[in-house]
Structure 1
Amino acid sequence: MAQPEAKALPGGAGRLCVLVVDDSRMQRRILTAQLTQAGYFVREAASGEEALTICRAAPPDIVLSDWLMPGLSGLEFCRIFRGMERQSYGYFVLLTSRPEKTDVALGLQAGADDFLQKPVNGAELRARLAAGARVLQMERELKEKNRMLAAALAEMRGLYDTIGRDLDEARNLQQSLIRERFRSFGSAQVSLMLHPSGHVGGDLVGFFPINARRVGLYGIDVSGHGITSALLASRISGYLSGAAPEQNIALVQTDLGFYDARDPAELATAMNRLILEEIHTESYFTMIYADVDLVSGRVALVQAGHPAPVVLRSDGGVEFPGQGGLPIGLFDAAEWGTVNLRLCPGDRLLLGSDGITEAEGAGGALASEGLGEMMRSCAGLRGQAFLDALYWQIEERSSGHLADDISAVLFEFDGAKRNAD
């Protein structure tokens, strides 16, 4: 006689173990014979207490338990079974000769999955256990998928942590591009502010000496956010370096070997040509550049798509000089004009990014006029304290939700530079 094929999960897992629990030895034998013939591995228990001992030692896949038994009833056994810790789900079938709806409800509340009415029909028994096997297979497949998902999440978390550390280092490197955030020139001083909206950003601010009596100030905002913008901003910083004047395209060397500065509009044109012809990027950037005379207070500046500069006069008046202009890196034939103005003792010049003027609040974007009012409110402060107070107001107005980088150059003019050559 051929041996019955071992009953396994539909997915091909190992042979299923069924625990038959009944105080009737005859009933256990009948069920065991039917299940063995169907290919299941079967264990028997004569009481709920004995069944619990077996479940603790070797948890079965499926339990067939009589409802009415002396001592621990099938219903009580089911409740305890559901509370036991196990690595996989156990399918529980109650055997009852009481098919009333209230009994079914009690069984479901206790944790039973299915019911079979005594006397048990062999075909129905196999069909019910086949349904249970499908449930167990789905549970095991779900557990495996969860395991794989947990492993993938752990790997992603590791990658994210690595990227996070790299971005933190990139942020530190980007901040290090600003070697000086403050410098005093005697009767004038420059202060810088840079707050990326993410780990790294596309804003850049800085200054460099042109000669003994002039200084160049600049603000740059590369389109987009993140690593690409930060890389382009870093590269542009090399073209406006104060440490290497021979590489600074804002400077030109005279026949006598001294350095002088290009006209601001000419610098914008040269920078535009450099971006289009040599860097070959789809990104573009806005720029504001000012050539400031530390003795006379004269300022020549170009505004290439950047927000208008703000002049806060010593008497509290606010001006917005500038001509707008196209961003750099968009059109080969773009042209810019130079704007001239003069600072008097006590005046301040702010070159801010659009992260400031476009900062959203309850009344909409801050805009240049709102920035001017904020600068008035900070007039009692100087240098970095002035910029910190300005940033605090912008952040508070936006409820901490700043969507863009915040950067600015503050130039404060107190009078002619002493001992100027």
Structure 2
Amino acid sequence: MKVLIAEDDRISRRMLQRQLEEWGHDVVAAVDGRDAWEKFQADEYSIVVSDWMMPEMDGIDLVRRIRKSETAGYVYVILLTARSKKEDIIVGMEAGADDFLSKPFDRGELRVRLRAGERIIHLERSLAQRNAQLQEANKRMTRDLEAAAKVQQSLLPSSLPEVPQARFAWHYRPCDELAGDFLNVLRLGERHVGIYVADVSGHGVAASLLSVSISRVMTPHATASSLLLKPDASGKYRVVAPGEVVAELNRRFPMEECGDRYFTIIYGVLDLESLEFRYASAGHPPVVVVPSKRAPEALEVASLAVGWVPDVEYEEHSVRLASGDRFLLYTDGIPEAMNSDMEQFGQERMLASIDGLRCETLDASVASLVRTVESWCGGTGPKDDVSLLAVEIV
């Protein structure tokens, strides 16, 4: 190890230097505290052995300067002194000294104290190396999470279908970098629009990966593997009924094959000619219908989440809509949002908020509802992902 000696007595300095070099250290000797400080600034040292009493700058001042300086690693400081009073030891420790050695020094005691310093330096270097490795791993993990979040964000609606019969608006707010919520609005030919909101149990990477996998099978392309559109013998396609879609999701994503994760979903098809919305729910919060001239209503449906039980048949439900009507699909992050008193926002409060926003535009009403929920939660915001998809019949 590289050791800096600060000793104004020439004989003591030469004895120290010769002894340390004999033990294999790379030694630089300084004639006083100021000379030692200049040498310390010009190079890097692992251990400093300094006399207490020196001209120009004493050992205490030298130690204080060393501790205030920026060094590549920890510097172990041993003070040489003839002082033995408790008060003197306290002064040296408060200045930053690690150990003390009585003058005239004993060869065996010097070696033991140097070895103690070497152990501490080795431990500090090992800790610094581990910390650097952890920081690099954390940087890689952060980059991976950011990349995964971008992939997940890319599966959200980049543009909404433009149809004369309806308007669409949505909001998506993950509580972590990666979320278990996902939603979409998909054009299924000229007459139909597919709409879904889903919520994978849990958060983080596992929930996000499952949500991405599900999103990829919820494609509007008419292929043999598509869930939403199926080609027929004539080369045309049929829109798959919502109950069939959810049942197929349940078959493809059993909980035991998904890391014990399940998900809830509402998937429905809006018929742009009849203005009928047919949907199936798998353990998801109820659709909220907002008739233009009546109070909002939550359409409760009893059903099992996807992945819990095999071979489940999911019942289909429908609602006939008219001009001015709205309906909302959302995840449980809205009604289950809690305030500081651990009180949930709740369905009743949610319905009242929706009712009070019916005069706003669809986009504005979605934004206002989210702000209301965030205000309910206080400064921390919701502890769960919040997703909301709203539809208005023109």
User: What's the TM-score bracket when you normalise by the shorter of the two chains?
Assistant: 0.7 to 0.9
2-structure distance, mates of 1:139, 1:125: 21
Question: Does 1:116 find its partner at 2:102?
Answer: yes
Structure 1 segment 179-218 matched on structure 2, within 5 A: 179-181=158-160, 183-210=161-188, 212-218=190-196
TM-score (norm 1): 0.73
Shift of 1:379: 1.2
Number of residue equivalences: 375
SS of aligned partner of 1:221: strand
Greater Cα radius of gyration, structure 1 or 2:
1
2-structure distance, mates of 1:189, 1:226: 32
The residue type equivalent to 1:273 in the other structure is R
2-structure distance, mates of 1:364, 1:247: 44
Instruction: Specify which of 305, 310, 331 is matched with residue 288 of structure 2.
Output: 310
The residue type equivalent to 1:234 in the other structure is V
Shift of 1:306: 0.8
Paired position in structure 1 for 2:392: 412
Paired position in structure 2 for 1:322: 300
Instruction: Specify which of 78, 86, 90 is matched with residue 77 of structure 2.
Output: 90
Shift of 1:36: 5.9
TM-score (norm 2): 0.78
Structure 1 segment 315-394 matched on structure 2, within 5 A: 315-362=293-340, 364-394=343-373
2-structure distance, mates of 1:232, 1:106: 61
Shift of 1:58: 5.2
Superposed CA RMSD in Å reads: 3.8
Gaps of 5+ in 1: 1-12, 415-421
Paired position in structure 1 for 2:258: 281
Residues 201-222 of structure 1, C-alpha deviations (whole Å, 9 max, x = no match)? 2322223345544433222222
Shift of 1:326: 0.5
SS of aligned partner of 2:309: coil
The residue type equivalent to 2:143 in the other structure is T
The residue type equivalent to 1:125 in the other structure is D
Structure 1 segment 67-146 matched on structure 2, within 5 A: 72=55, 77-85=58-66, 88-95=75-82, 113-114=99-100, 116=102, 120=104, 125-146=106-127
Q: 1:58 to 1:267 in 2, by over 3 A?
A: closer
Paired position in structure 2 for 1:395: 374
Residues 93-123 of structure 1, C-alpha deviations (whole Å, 9 max, x = no match)? 2125xx6665666666666643637xx5xxx
1-structure distance, mates of 2:4, 2:38: 13
Gaps of 5+ in 2: 41-46
Q: 1:89 to 1:306 in 2, by over 3 A?
A: same
Percent identity over the alignment? Answer: 23
The residue type equivalent to 2:345 in the other structure is L
Instruction: Specify which of 29, 33, 36 is matched with residue 55 of structure 1.
Output: 36
